[in-house]
């Protein structure tokens, strides 16, 4: 079915049952009901500091793996999280498996939890599960018990066959049990964190009611800061709706001032990062997530992405991200899952450009920055949201060459890998060569291959061509003075009857390498021909450039009649 633009404007797919233009069964889905918070204040706020971070890699991330981590892999992940600066780490679900229980015991018994790190465990709202979990953390200095019961309309209906009242009663029963254990536990400071699981699909007023019932019970019984975690167990509305619901909930929490409110966002709609940022504006203090977004289904929110977003705005991310590639490789090893090449901030390609105009702008941006000479100046390089060096990348991989590339990128690569500053018309000449090469061969040309092609064409062209028995064309540098090379080189060309006229010779020190590069431009039948010479001595580099240019000119001249003959042979007979 095709709709006119006018019909499209007024079209309501849901009225049409299964007969939609796309064929998609939209009638099976209902839009979310907005909470409609008219006096919202979060849009006027700005992010100014990092929230508290809670890693759930060893629990939510782990429970989503094909093969959950054993104690050894968990330990590697734990050490990584500590080294990055996480201060709150959920280390497992001790009631779920012996491995999870053993890992918590391992950390405690080997005294492996730094003083400034709090471990957290998760359990369901069952007294046996709470017992086992508290047993697991016995002996740690401090621990958070995150205990949960689902509150969504669907789970109340199909899993628990319970109304609001019974659901609230279950939460209170578990809370009473947890508080009793908290009071009894002498050697460990136990913080309780209540979670209305599937909060994102719970009526907002019931979410508030159940959290407040739990808090009213806990508040008089402890001096500790209270904790509530609000999970977007399934992301089913856009970020601004989440922000409204967070602001509404925070406004109505009975003990907001002494409560750490955590957001635990999943990424079903692909907007967990945006949702978390708006939720922070709307009032959450702490965000739980995983490294590179591992976790159930489409994953938990990616904490390094949130942290890098802050960093790129000049806000301390409160996580050490200076070697993000190392973090990525440890995570890939532990999770046995690859991180996508385009994953924000850390993917293999996120600081790499193949496209000519981008490469050109990046190269110019880096050059301008270098010329300005202030490494601490505010970062403003086109197409690069941060300085790749800040997360441990070099500038070398910024530019890679294929059919989409242009002269600026190619020149940058030769400059950054070989120290060569190509004259503009040589850049143009070589870009044509590379374009043709990439179109014929396909794929990417790496820095090494680029150099080989460049070198074969300009530095040592046609070494098979005999350019004078005296070798080296008889071009001698004796008596030359810098800046006065063009004429002697021209004379040598004429003397040796090398075709073409010398247009110019320049030379420059190599950048970041010892020695000089010289560029000799000749013109043959109106076409520019280049030779490049490289040597520790400037004069010798010039001599080589002239020699290379002469070889190219001779080679071209000799190839021309052959090419003409070949073309004539191919000419169709009339």
The residues of the shown chain that bind ligand ACO, judged by CB under 6 A, are 60, 63, 93, 95-96, 124-126, 148-150, 159-160, 197, 233, 296
Nearest distance from C-beta of residue 452 to ligand ACO, angstroms = 53
Strand partners for 529: 522
Q: Is 418 in the site for ligand KIV (CB under 6 A)?
A: no
What single string gives the DSSP state of each residue in 14-51? Answer: GGGTT--SS---GGG---------TT--GGG----S--
Q: Cβ 229 to ligand ACO, closest distance in Å?
A: 11
Q: Report d(CA 521, CA 505) in Å as an integer.
A: 6
Mark 46-65 with x for binding to ligand KIV (rule: CB under 6 A) and - for no binding.
--------------x-----
**Which tokens in the block code for residue 517?**
């590069």
Identify whether the C-beta of residue 361 lies closer than 8 Å to the C-beta of residue 382.
yes
Helix (H, G, I), strand (E, B) or coil at 290: strand
Task: Name the residue nearer to ligand KIV (CB basis): 195 or 334.
Answer: 195
Give the span between the Cα atoms of 33 and 529, in whole angstroms. 70
d(CA 573, CA 394): 58
Q: Which does 264 bind (CB under 5 to 8 A by kind): ligand ACO, ligand KIV, none?
A: ligand KIV
Instruction: Provide the minimum distance between the beta carbon of 367 and ligand KIV in the complex, in angstroms, as a whole number.
Output: 48
Residue pair 59/93 in contact (Cβ under 8 Å)? The answer is: yes
Other beta carbons within 10 angstroms of residue 362's beta carbon come to: 24
Give all strands (DSSP E) within 394-526, no chain letters. Answer: 501-509, 516-524
CB of 145 to ligand ACO, least distance (A): 13
Among 233, 259, 271, 403, the residue binding ligand KIV under the rule CB under 6 A is 233
**Least distance between ligand ACO and beta carbon 71 (Å):** 17
Numbers of helices and strands, H then E, in the chain: 18, 11
Provide the minimum distance between the beta carbon of 14 and ligand KIV in the complex, in angstroms, as a whole number.
29
Report the b/e string of 518-543 with b at 16+ CB within 10 A. Answer: bbbbbebeeeebbbbbbbeebbbbbb
- Chain centre distance of CA 506: 42
Q: Is 231 in the site for ligand KIV (CB under 6 A)?
A: yes
* Structure tokens belonging to residue 185: 């536990």
**CA-CA distance, 317 to 3, in Å (whole number)?**
49
Closest CB to ligand KIV among residues 95, 366: 95
Q: How far apart are CA 386 and CA 30, in angstroms?
A: 40
Tell me if 500 contacts ligand KIV by CB under 6 A. no
In this complex, which beta carbon is closest to ligand KIV, that of residue 11 or of residue 32?
32
243 binds, among ligand KIV, ligand ACO, none (CB under 5 to 8 A by kind): none
Q: Which of 368, 366, 184, 208 is nearest to 283 (CA)?
A: 208
Binds 352: which of ligand KIV, ligand ACO, none (CB < 5-8 Å by kind): none
User: By CB under 6 A, which span of 225-233, 395-403, 409-417, 541-549 interacts with ligand KIV?
Assistant: 225-233
Q: What gap in Å lies between CA 351 and CA 362, rounded to an integer?
A: 10
Q: Is 409 in the site for ligand KIV (CB under 6 A)?
A: no
Cβ-based nearer residue to ligand ACO, 135 or 296: 296
Residue 227 binding result from ligand ACO, ligand KIV, none, given CB thresholds of 5 to 8 Å by partner type? none
**Strand 259-265 relative to strand 226-232: parallel, antiparallel, unpaired?**
parallel
Yes or no: say if 532 and 459 are a contact pair by the CB < 8 Å rule: yes
Residue 124 interacts with which of ligand KIV, ligand ACO, none, CB < 5 to 8 Å by class: ligand ACO
Number of residues forming the site for ligand KIV (CB under 6 A): 9
Nearer to ligand KIV, 233 or 259 (CB): 233
In the complex, the smallest distance separating the C-beta of residue 264 from ligand ACO, rounded to whole angstroms, is 9
Binding map of ligand KIV across residues 152-191, x = CB under 6 A, - = no contact: ----------------------------------------
Our CB check for ligand ACO shows the closer of 89 and 125 to be 125
For ligand KIV, the binding residues in 190-219 under the rule CB under 6 A are 195, 197
- Integer Cα distance of 167 and 345 in angstroms: 42
Q: Which does 126 bind (CB under 5 to 8 A by kind): ligand ACO, ligand KIV, none?
A: ligand ACO
Residue that the structure tokens 């042979």 belong to: 569
Phi, psi of 400 (to 5 degrees): -130, 150
The minimum distance between CB 284 and ligand KIV, in angstroms, equals 13
Residue 64 or 445 having the CB closest to ligand KIV:
64
Pick the closer one to ligand ACO by CB: 197 or 556: 197
What is the closest distance, in whole angstroms, from the C-beta atom of residue 235 to ligand KIV in the complex? 10
Residue from 73, 177, 264, 552 in contact with ligand KIV (CB under 6 A): 264
| Site for ligand KIV contains 148 (CB under 6 A) | yes
Query: What would you report as the CA-atom Rg of the chain, rounded to the nearest whole angstrom?
Result: 34
Distance CA(503)–CA(531), nearest Å, equals 12
Give contact residues for ligand KIV (rule: CB under 6 A). 60, 148, 195, 197, 229, 231, 233, 264, 266
């Amino acid at each position: 079915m095709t709709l006119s633009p006018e019909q499209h404007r007024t079209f309501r797919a849901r009225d049409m049952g299964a007969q939609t233009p796309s064929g998609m069964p939209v009638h099976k889905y209902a839009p979310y009901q907005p909470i409609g918070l008219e006096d919202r204040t979060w849009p006027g706020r700005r992010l100014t500091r990092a929230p508290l971070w809670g890693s759930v890699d060893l629990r939510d991330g782990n429970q989503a793996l094909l093969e959950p981590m054993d104690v050894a892999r968990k330990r590697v992940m734990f050490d990584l999280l500590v080294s990055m600066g996480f201060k709150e780490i959920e280390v497992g679900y001790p009631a779920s498996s012996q491995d999870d229980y053993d890992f918590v015991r391992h950390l405690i018994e080997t005294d492996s939890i730094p003083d400034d790190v709090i471990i957290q465990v998760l359990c369901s709202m069952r007294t046996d599960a709470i017992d086992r979990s508290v047993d697991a953390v016995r002996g740690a200095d401090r621990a958070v018990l995150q205990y949960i019961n689902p509150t969504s309309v669907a789970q109340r209906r199909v899993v628990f066959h319970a109304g609001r009242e019974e659901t609230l009663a279950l939460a209170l029963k578990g809370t009473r049990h947890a508080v009793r254990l908290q009071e009894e536990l002498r050697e460990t400071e136990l913080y309780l964190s209540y979670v209305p699981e599937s909060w994102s699909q719970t009526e907002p007023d019931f979410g508030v009611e159940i959290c407040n019932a739990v808090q009213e019970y806990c508040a008089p019984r402890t001096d500790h800061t209270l904790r509530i975690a609000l999970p977007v167990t399934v992301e089913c509305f856009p970020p601004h709706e989440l922000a409204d619901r967070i602001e509404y909930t925070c406004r109505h929490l009975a003990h907001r001032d002494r409560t750490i409110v955590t957001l635990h966002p999943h990424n079903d709609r692909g907007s967990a990062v945006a949702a978390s940022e708006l939720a922070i504006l709307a009032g959450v203090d702490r965000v739980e997530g995983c490294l590179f977004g591992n976790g159930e289904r489409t994953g938990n929110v990616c904490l390094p992405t949130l942290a890098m977003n802050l960093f790129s705005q000049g806000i301390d991310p409160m996580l050490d991200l200076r070697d993000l590639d190392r973090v990525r490789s440890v995570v890939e090893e532990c999770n046995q899952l690859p991180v996508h090449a385009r994953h924000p901030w850390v993917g293999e390609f996120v600081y790499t450009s193949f496209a000519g105009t981008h490469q050109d702008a990046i190269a110019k941006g880096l050059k301008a920055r270098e010329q300005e000479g202030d490494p601490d100046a505010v970062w403003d390089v086109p197409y690069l949201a941060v300085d790749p060096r800040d997360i441990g990348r070099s500038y070398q991989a910024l530019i890679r060459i294929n059919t989409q590339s242009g002269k600026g990128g190619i020149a940058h690569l030769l400059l950054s890998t070989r120290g060569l500053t190509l004259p503009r018309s040589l850049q143009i000449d070589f870009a044509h060569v590379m374009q043709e090469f990439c179109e014929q061969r396909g794929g990417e040309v790496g820095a090494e291959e680029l150099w080989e092609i460049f070198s074969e064409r300009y530095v040592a062209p046609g070494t098979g061509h005999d350019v004078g028995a005296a070798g080296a064309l008889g071009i001698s540098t004796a008596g030359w003075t810098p800046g006065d090379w063009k004429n002697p080189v021209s004379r040598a060309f004429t003397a040796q009857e090398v075709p073409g006229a010398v247009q110019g010779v320049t030379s420059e020190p190599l950048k970041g390498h010892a020695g000089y590069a010289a560029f000799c431009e000749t013109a043959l039948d109106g076409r520019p021909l280049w030779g490049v010479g490289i040597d520790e001595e400037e004069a010798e580099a010039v001599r080589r450039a002239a020699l290379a240019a002469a070889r190219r000119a001779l080679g071209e001249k000799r190839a021309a009649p052959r090419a003409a003959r070949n073309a004539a042979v191919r000419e169709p007979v009339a």
